[in-house]
Amino acid sequence: MEKILIIDDDKDLCFVLKRFLSKHGFEVLEATTGRAALEILDSVEPNLILCDFRLEDMSGSSILKKIKEKNPSVPVIIITGYSNIKTAVEVMKLGAMDYVTKPLLPDEILLTIKKALNTSAEDKASADANEQDAALKEQERVNLLNAKRAHTESGSYIFGDSSDFKNILNQIDLVAPTNYSIIIYGESGSGKEVIAQEIHKRSKRSSKPFIAIDCGTLSRELAGSELFGHEKGSFTGAIGQKMGSFELANGGTIFLDEISNLPYDVQVQLLRVTQERKMRRVGGTKDIDLDVRIIVASNRKLWDAAKSGHFREDLYHRFNEFAINVPPLRERVNDIMVFANHFLTQTNKELGKNVKRFSPEVEEVFRKYVWHGNLRELKNVVKRATLLADSSVIDIKSIPFELVNYRKLQFENTGEQPAVPKDPAIAVNQPPVIREPGLKSVSIDAEYEWILETLKKVDFNKSKAAKLLKIDRKTLYNKIKQYKDLNNQEL
């Protein structure tokens, strides 16, 4: 089994890369500092090294020189977040076999590794440090990345670690080559449009247009014109002929977000498009043939909207050839830091900064916060924090107050107890207690609050808590049970 050594001070990236490469049959070692990597190289001879260009304890140039001193023949691939010809030339002159830019794409990193492992020592020597070749190589890479990312907002669907996310990727691979119409369900900001773009990118229509329309922004008067176009003079303000979104997407894919907000009369027109693959501009007399794949998205179940009369049932069945459910970010805790680190890389490029990571305290806040705005909210928080950061690490002072104090504010505003995940006996996200006010209920609430605070102080060791409360362990359990019985909920 071929050994790969990963050198990167980003622990999350090391973890993700290790899992990814292990699944592809490699034995993976990891080091988060240059010194630790050099110690490993004293006793282990890896077949390949993946090394970050900017480490906290030494520069990429320094670590590369030391690696080559210890093992001149080992191929080294540099990971850099700064895609430019100067970096490429520098690392190639120093002996790097190749380089990859963040955010990492799985097919790119795997292809680069396999290519490096299969390259002979003679090929490596002849490829070293040619500035013109490096420039050409960079241009090819930029073209490849642009082709892969031009139509996607984030390119973040790379190393999602949750089982839900992996299942979504499997579904994308399964349905993309077909011409099925698709419904994507998910909360606002959860990445529905990016998934639609991924489906288009992996389909046979990838070279054709991808047109995205937010149906929630279309007025009843102009929805038909936006979707199907209009002829000159067909209504007041129609001063010329206009092609609609369906016509613009002909041969490709149209994505209709928040489809349930589409006016009912426009749904009738849309039904004809899905049935006959023909459309007619507003005010027009000529049918236009269409070859368009339709992907729709909604934050509510269309079947429920159909049953309540807000959405045509026959149109629902036309769309429902395949459905993908996107879970909210709060249910994909393992993915939070993956996306956060990607947004950090993006923002560094936008702002020209070199913020390398998040502090452990910030990571803890991110994992515990309930991301109501999903990926969109996370991206905005990371952008703000990167702008405010005054060092290479984003610390807690750069994070919005409402995130850091989320549980406390939730308790103050609703009476809901903060989530305490360390002890399964204490409920998480309890609904506020509602009962008739009275001295007894106030006393019980105060007593429970004191018990909870004491449990927190001793890390939920009930024996220590009982001792501090000057009661025995059995009495402590009885009081917790009493509160549960009064509120009809688990504690």
User: What pLDDT, on the 0 to 100 scale, is given for residue 123?
Assistant: 53
Residue 321 CB-density burial (10 A; 0-12 exposed, 13-18 middle, 19+ buried): middle
237-245: which pairs have CB atoms within 8 A and are 24 or more residues apart? 238/282, 238/283, 241/281, 242/281, 244/279, 244/281, 245/211, 245/213
Q: Please, which pLDDT band fits residue 183 given cuts at 50, 70 and 90?
A: very high
Least confident of 59-63, 237-241, 263-267, 387-391: 237-241
Structural domains of the chain, with CATH: 3-149 (3.40.50.2300), 163-325 (3.40.50.300), 329-404 (1.10.8.60), 420-487 (1.10.10.60)
Cβ pair 255, 309 in contact under 8 A: no
User: What pLDDT, on the 0 to 100 scale, is given for residue 432?
Assistant: 40
pLDDT of 187 higher than 60: yes
DSSP 331-355: G-HHHHHHHHHHHHHHHHHHHT---
Cβ pair 188, 298 in contact under 8 A: no
User: What pLDDT, on the 0 to 100 scale, is given for residue 64?
Assistant: 86
Residue with tokens 């279309």: 218
Question: What does the DSSP 8-state code read for residue 296?
Answer: E
Q: Please, which pLDDT band fits residue 437 given cuts at 50, 70 and 90?
A: very low
User: What pLDDT, on the 0 to 100 scale, is given for residue 56?
Assistant: 82
Q: In a 3-state reduction of DSSP, which class is residue 394? A: strand
Q: In a 3-state reduction of DSSP, which class is residue 99? A: strand
Give me the sign of the Cα torsion angle 313, 315, 317, 320.
Answer: negative
Q: In a 3-state reduction of DSSP, which class is residue 225? A: helix
User: What pLDDT, on the 0 to 100 scale, is given for residue 204?
Assistant: 92
User: What pLDDT, on the 0 to 100 scale, is given for residue 100?
Assistant: 80
Condensed to tens digits (0 to 9), the pLDDT of residues 192-250 reads 988 999 999 999 999 999 999 888 888 777 788 888 888 887 777 677 788 888 988 99
Give the pLDDT mean for 57-73: 85
pTM of the predicted model, to two decimals?
Answer: 0.51
pLDDT of 102 higher than 90: no
Taking alpha carbons only, the member of 44, 105, 49 closest to residue 74 is 49
| 195/164 Cα distance (integer angstroms) | 13
Q: Which helix (H) or strand (E) holds 476?
A: helix 473-487
| 312/293 Cα distance (integer angstroms) | 19
**Strand-pair category, 229-230 with 242-243:** antiparallel
User: What pLDDT, on the 0 to 100 scale, is given for residue 200?
Assistant: 93
Give me the sign of the Cα torsion angle 338, 345, 155, 296.
Answer: positive
Condensed to tens digits (0 to 9), the pLDDT of residues 469-490 reads 878 777 777 777 666 555 544 4
DSSP 298-314: ESS-HHHHHHTTSS-HH
Q: Which helix (H) or strand (E) holds 2?
A: none
User: What pLDDT, on the 0 to 100 scale, is given for residue 473?
Assistant: 75
